[in-house]
Structure formats: C-alpha cells, structure tokens
Amino acid sequence: MHLGNLLAASKCEGPYGGKEGLCAPDFTLKTLDGNEVRLSSFLGKVIFLNFWATWCTPCAIEIPEMEKAYRKLRSHSFAMLAISIDTEGKAAIDKFFKETFKGEISSFPILLDPEKKISHQYGTFKVPETYIIDKRGRIRDKVEGIREWNDSLIRHYLELLIKEP
C-alpha cells in the first residue's frame, strides 16, 4: 500500500470535537521559537495534548512530571504537546521557565494559543487539562486537573496505547 493511502486509511473517521470518543480537531500553532506545529503531523503516534498557563500553580507542579514521562516515552510512537493559553504569549512563558525552573525549558514543544482559539475548539475551560489522543486521532481520555504523569500505571497505560495497531 502506498504511504499516502496508508495514512488516509488510518485517519480518524467520524465527528470532531473535544470529548472522549470524538476525533481530535486539527490545528496549527506556533512554538516558542516561531515554528509552526500541526497536530495532524503526529498521526500514527499517541499524542499527549496538555493545556496549561503560567499563572496556574498545579500546572507548574505537573510540568516536571510531564517532562519525566516524555523522556521515557519519546523514543516510541509518542508525542507530547503543551499548549499555553497565556494572553501575554512567549514573554510570559520565558519568564515562567526562568523563575520556576531556573531557565530550563521542557524538551517537548510548547505551543502558543494566546487567543484561546484551540482551547475553545476543544472545550477546555480550566487548566491543566490533558487529552490523550490515539494513533488514529481519536480522543481516548480527557483529564481535568493535575496528575502524576510519570506514575508507573499511567506510563503503562500510555505504553499500551502506543502498542496498539
């Protein structure tokens, strides 16, 4: 089968929206360094999609756990994207990482949604909020609030999703 046909055959079919069981809405956002990232470019990988903000104390607690989980899973068919809903954009995020994490920025992409278009598209109303999207683009889980993402049971769940065809 031709690669294009293979990707088309594995794409999520059905209604789109920000709820479990629906196909994840596609989007394109800029990263901190100005590059564009499109969600659909990760088709074929399990996607960990996290909405957060610099003013969110639970988010600051959660980010190091996300980083640990990402470092353990990134060599597999796994992608982690963190969407900041800060209206101040890059400046606020740079300041946040400098003050909170001594300048260390995450190794997973930080995307900017200052107008909250994507968060509205997904129906996100509080942070942190995380979507687990399967390899075909279907939302498998929507998690509201903080989690210990590096917990062995959570990582095992993500590894099982990664192993699915």
100-140 confidence digits (pLDDT tens): 988 677 899 999 999 999 999 999 988 999 999 999 999 99
Residue 36 lies in a domain: yes
Nearest to 49 by CA among 27, 16, 34, 33: 27
Helices then strands, counting H and E runs in the chain, come out as 5, 7
Residue 60, domain CATH = 3.40.30.10
Residue 2 lies in a domain: no
Q: What pLDDT is recorded for position 76?
A: 79
- The C-alpha R_g of the chain, in whole angstroms, comes to 15
Print the SS3 string covering 29-93: EEECCCCEEEHHHHCCCEEEEEEECCCCHHHHHHHHHHHHHHHHHCCCCEEEEEEECCCCCHHHH
Number of domains in the chain: 1
Residue 59 lies in a domain: yes
Which one-letter DSSP state was computed for residue 127? S
Residue 8 lies in a domain: no
pTM comes to: 0.91
Tokens of 106: 């995450």
Residue 14 lies in a domain: no
Q: Are strands 78-84 and 46-52 parallel, antiparallel or unpaired?
A: parallel
Q: Which domain holds residue 94?
A: 25-163
